[in-house]
């Protein structure tokens, strides 16, 4: 028997499940593997033998995952220690993979997940195991290097721009002068906040200011920016990334109580509330409304990009196709070929080139004032949001696929 397994890790996206269906469909076409297994709750679940056989589920019962948000196979935030420090988990994992006759492990995730792919492939090589490990990219943050963009980003960008448009209109209805602040995710990079630039009304940008982590946030300059704009117009619209920080490196979202995730990353948020208080206490404006988008950025399939869904599917399919050649320690990226018409292709690269590295938003795409982005950011982002998702509707709501039995193991 020759089987494979696919699992998901880290924060979900609207399109992460499309990659799973890409793997499944590729094997349905090639029949290279006898069974496609799924690890429930990522590598943590596999270590607990929480494994189901997707090949035993009727295709009609699973195909809807392509248009279902969140991680249909469950997720985890679990970081393997280097095997030089601890081999216990590695030994257990490889024993489980051997028991299921797994020859290829597909891991869908972001930076930390690709680090796992890298570690496991090295361990397999050093211990003469024939199990292959291939990474499939996923993150709304768009911060994986080498590739043009990541699956998940386009849909998040579309949701953000839509929210900017709708809240811009909502904030414009009253005669009283005011400020609206919208906060996006993006702990280390400003890709998500920058995507607000594609929201335009009558050919003009809806957002007056966009502040990114790549530029030190100057509180006094921010207040001057807003004050000056309020002289020119009644309503000022501001977009901020949760990761903006002062020149001293202090996150605005860390001012006050700080929580850490399992990887030791600061759990940011609340930047818009901090800025609201700042504006009101300095009498810069008398009315401020704020919106922290939070997890809707990564689960809004109703506002997803069909381009994003298709590319997520393509990288999953490409991973399965590449696996036939026996590659390991690799992941699949997306290479942009053309903007008009927009075209892209998947390609293989070493997971080690991505793991523990960050692709920052280009400084040259930030204006001289450090409070907005340039035309290049608009032209980069716009093609990625195109197309409406072909979701099924039942009783007026999206009909999503939930593998309920998988989570009752």
**CA nearest neighbour of 19 among 35, 28, 6, 30:** 6
Q: Residue 233 corresponds to which tokens in the numbers above?
A: 């117009």
Pinpoint the alpha helices (H) of 268-305: 271-281, 296-299
Instruction: Considering the candidates 115, 141, 188, 308, report the single residue annotated as catalytic.
Output: 141
- CA distances (Å), origin 246, targets 65, 220, 260, 359: 41, 11, 20, 20
Angle between helices 111-126 and 88-99 (to 10 degrees): 80
The phi and psi torsions of 120 (rounded to 5 degrees) equal -70, -35
Q: Are 24 and 141 in contact (CB under 8 A)?
A: no
141 catalytic per annotation: yes
Handedness of CA 124, 128, 129, 132 (dihedral sign): positive
- Other CB atoms within 10 A of residue 58 CB: 7
* Ramachandran category for residue 326: left, alpha or beta (phi over 0 → left; psi -120 to 50 → alpha): left
Q: Are 401 and 60 in contact (CB under 8 A)?
A: no
Query: What 3-state class would DSSP assign to 295?
Result: coil
Angle between helices 306-323 and 16-30 (to 10 degrees): 40
**CA nearest neighbour of 155 among 9, 372, 365, 313:** 313
**CA nearest neighbour of 147 among 358, 328, 402:** 358
Q: How far apart are CA 253 and CA 299, in angstroms?
A: 23
Q: Are 214 and 247 in contact (CB under 8 A)?
A: no
Q: Are 226 and 239 in contact (CB under 8 A)?
A: no
Q: Are 93 and 46 in contact (CB under 8 A)?
A: yes
Q: What is the set of active-site residues?
A: 141
């Amino acid at each position: 028997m020759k089987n494979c397994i696919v699992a998901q890790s880290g924060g979900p996206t609207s399109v992460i499940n499309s990659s799973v269906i890409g793997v499944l469909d590729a094997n349905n076409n090639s029949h290279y593997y006898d069974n496609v297994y799924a690890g429930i709750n990522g590598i943590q679940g596999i270590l607990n033998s929480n494994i189901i056989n997707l090949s035993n589920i009727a295709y009609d019962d699973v195909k809807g995952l392509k248009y279902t948000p969140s991680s249909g196979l469950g997720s985890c935030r679990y970081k393997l220690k280097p095997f030089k420090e601890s081999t216990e988990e590695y030994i257990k994992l490889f024993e489980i993979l051997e028991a299921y006759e797994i020859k290829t492990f597909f891991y869908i995730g972001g930076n930390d997940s690709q680090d796992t792919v890298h570690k496991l492939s090295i361990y397999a090589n050093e211990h003469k195991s024939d199990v292959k490990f291939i990474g499939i990219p996923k993150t709304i943050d768009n911060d994986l290097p080498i590739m043009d963009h990541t699956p998940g980003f386009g849909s998040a960008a579309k949701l953000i721009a839509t929210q900017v448009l709708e809240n811009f209109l909502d904030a414009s209805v009253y005669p009283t002068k005011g400020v609206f602040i919208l906060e996006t995710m993006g702990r280390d990079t400003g890709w998500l906040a920058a995507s607000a630039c594609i929201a335009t009304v009558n050919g003009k940008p809806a957002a007056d200011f966009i502040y990114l982590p790549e530029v030190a946030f100057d509180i006094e300059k921010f207040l001057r920016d807003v004050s000056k704009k309020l002289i020119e117009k009644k309503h000022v619209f501001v977009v901020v990334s949760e990761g903006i920080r002062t020149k001293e490196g202090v996150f605005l979202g860390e001012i006050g109580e700080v929580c850490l995730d399992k990887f030791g990353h600061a759990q940011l948020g609340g930047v818009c509330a901090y800025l609201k208080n700042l504006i009101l206490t300095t009498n810069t404006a008398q009315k401020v409304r704020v919106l922290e988008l939070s997890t809707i950025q990564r689960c809004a399939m109703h506002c997803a990009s069909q381009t994003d869904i298709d590319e997520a599917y393509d990288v999953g399919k490409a991973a399965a196709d590449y696996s036939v050649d026996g590659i390991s320690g690799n992941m699949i990226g997306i290479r942009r070929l053309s903007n008009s018409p927009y075209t892209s292709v998947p390609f293989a690269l070493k997971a080690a080139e991505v793991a523990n590295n960050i692709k920052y938003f280009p400084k040259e795409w930030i204006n001289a004032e450090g409070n907005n982005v340039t035309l290049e950011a608009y032209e980069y982002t716009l093609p990625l949001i195109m197309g409406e998702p072909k979701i099924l509707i039942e009783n007026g709501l999206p009909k999503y696929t939930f593998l309920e039995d998988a989570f009752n193991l």
